[in-house]
Amino acid sequence: MGQTAKTPRGNRTITVDFQDESTYFRLLNDGKAFVECVLAFLLSLGFQLTHKSTCHGGDSLTRHSHYVRIRLGGLTIWRIQCTRCKAVFTVLPHFVLRYRQMRPDVARDALVATHGGLSLEWCATICHISPMALYRVICAFGQHSLVSVLTRCGLRLPAYILADEKHSRCLTAKVYLPTIVSGRVLWHLGYSASKSAAAFTQSYGVFQQVALAQEPSYRVKGALTDGFDSTVSSMRTLFPGARLGYCLRHALNKLPDKLIGLSAPVRQGLRSQFHTLLHRCRQRKSLRVVALGQRLRHFAAHIATTVGEAHGERVRSWFQAKKAGWYTVLADPQMPAMSTVLDQAHNAIDRKLFAMKGFHHPGGSQAAFLTGLAHLYNLIPYQRRALHAGKCRVAVEGGRLPTADWMLNLQILTSGGYQCAPAPPHH
Ligand SMILES: [Zn+2]
């Protein structure tokens, strides 16, 4: 196993919801009804099948061949074929996972427990499966990119993104998880053994490549980072036309570090003045950038007179280095100003990684495992309040989900045989 998620090649498996198992077994003996049921399900999803490139698709499908899954108690699996391009699709009924003996309802419980932060070992214990089997299920879902799953739900590729790296550990080595968030949804969760600009560019570049393959005209308009050099430079390299903003909350939290040797109350007092300053600038409807420049100069002068010229100078040169990124945030109302959502996502992922010894083995497929965790993060319902009760992050962001069942959605959305229907015309 390598460290990069492999793209599934020629995988034309489709998961089909037959409602209940007896329906499936009844249809096994009736080829015409079987194909009709599959077509009806396709229609309800609004997806198309991944035909060969020469084929315009369509619904000229026929039953092709079948085989028997011994490990699933002799279950018959049918394949269907496009009569035009001869592409063959394996139809997996909803109660079967691709290449797994584990049933989806068993996986469902183990995955919820995993998502909730329980270790692979404990999840496996309460669900009577092996930790490695659970690890492999997560990796299998993680073979499918976040971008392809999210766009299948009708979400637009994000014009404005938050990018930051989570610091974590693999055994004794420090590792970094480059992450892209937009709204409440994770669009990229990578894995890097180095914090160099080149390493981050490579990781964020994976997102860019998949996005461009999906939509060749895709451009990032704005990216918010915490101002870390490697992140900023990887964003510049990958998205040369994008506005680059620095997170205002990171700025707030950094200020006390610049006031070395001062007492905590003094530093906290200045931090809260800085908070008011940034807040007032954001509230202004116009000339926010001009207002910020003036206020930063006055604030640095205020620090110099109240706590000493050395502090004033240190803060002034820090402002000088960072203010362009803060201007950017204030200049474009659509730019995200703070990376709070991203920090929340990182904290959620971190709790899992900490609880998860399965992650910490160098031969593991970290990229696939992390992507699998990110799918769970996006698709498992988490909202309890009335407005969004029972919804997952994709739904809260306005995405369409194939069914009301998150586990079935995960199976369907990571089926290699489906592809997005072309976007409907706007008229
Ligand atoms: Zn075809």
AA letter at 222:
G
Residues 299-352 have pLDDT tens digits of 999 999 999 999 999 999 999 999 999 999 888 888 888 888 888 888 888 777
CA gyration radius for the chain? 25
- Centre of ligand 1 to C-alpha 51, Å, is 4
- Centre of ligand 1 to C-alpha 47, Å, is 14
- Centre of ligand 1 to C-alpha 59, Å, is 8
- Centre of ligand 1 to C-alpha 49, Å, is 8
Q: What was the pLDDT predicted at 405?
A: 94
Measured CA to CA, the distance from residue 324 to residue 236 in angstroms comes to 14
- Centre of ligand 1 to C-alpha 21, Å, is 28
- Centre of ligand 1 to C-alpha 88, Å, is 9
Q: What was the pLDDT predicted at 2?
A: 41
- Centre of ligand 1 to C-alpha 50, Å, is 8
Measured CA to CA, the distance from residue 238 to residue 244 in angstroms comes to 12
- Centre of ligand 1 to C-alpha 197, Å, is 43
- Centre of ligand 1 to C-alpha 112, Å, is 37
Q: Residue-wise over 126-159: b if at least 16 C-beta within 10 A, else e? A: ebebebebbbbbbbbbbbbbbbbbbbbbbbebbe
- Centre of ligand 1 to C-alpha 55, Å, is 5
- Centre of ligand 1 to C-alpha 409, Å, is 24
- Centre of ligand 1 to C-alpha 104, Å, is 30
Residue closest to 205 by CA, chosen among 230, 239, 228, 159: 239
- Centre of ligand 1 to C-alpha 81, Å, is 8
- Centre of ligand 1 to C-alpha 57, Å, is 5
- Centre of ligand 1 to C-alpha 69, Å, is 26
Q: What was the pLDDT predicted at 422?
A: 56
Residue 303, classified by CB atoms within 10 Å of its CB into exposed (0-12), middle (13-18) or buried (19+), is buried
- Centre of ligand 1 to C-alpha 54, Å, is 8
- Centre of ligand 1 to C-alpha 413, Å, is 20
Bridge pairing between strands 185-189 and 48-49: unpaired
User: Tens-of-pLDDT digits for all 427 residues of the chain?
Assistant: 344 444 445 689 999 999 999 999 999 989 899 999 999 999 899 888 888 888 887 778 888 888 888 777 888 999 999 999 899 999 999 999 887 888 899 899 999 988 887 777 787 788 888 888 888 899 999 999 999 999 999 999 999 999 999 888 777 778 899 999 999 999 999 999 899 999 999 999 999 999 999 899 999 999 999 888 999 999 999 999 999 999 988 899 899 999 988 999 999 999 999 999 988 888 776 667 778 888 999 999 999 999 999 999 999 999 999 999 999 988 888 888 888 888 888 888 877 776 566 566 666 688 898 999 999 999 999 877 777 888 999 999 999 999 999 999 999 999 989 987 655 444 4
AA letter at 362:
P
Contact yes or no for 87/55 (Cβ under 8 A): yes
Q: Residue 312: which residues within 8 A CB-CB, separation 6 or more?
A: 300, 301, 303, 304, 305
- Ranges of H-type helices in 14-103: 21-27, 31-45
- Centre of ligand 1 to C-alpha 15, Å, is 18
- Centre of ligand 1 to C-alpha 35, Å, is 15
The pocket of ion ligand 1, defined by CB under 5 A, consists of: 51, 55, 82, 84-85
- Centre of ligand 1 to C-alpha 365, Å, is 33
- Centre of ligand 1 to C-alpha 8, Å, is 19
- Centre of ligand 1 to C-alpha 402, Å, is 23
Q: What was the pLDDT predicted at 99?
A: 76
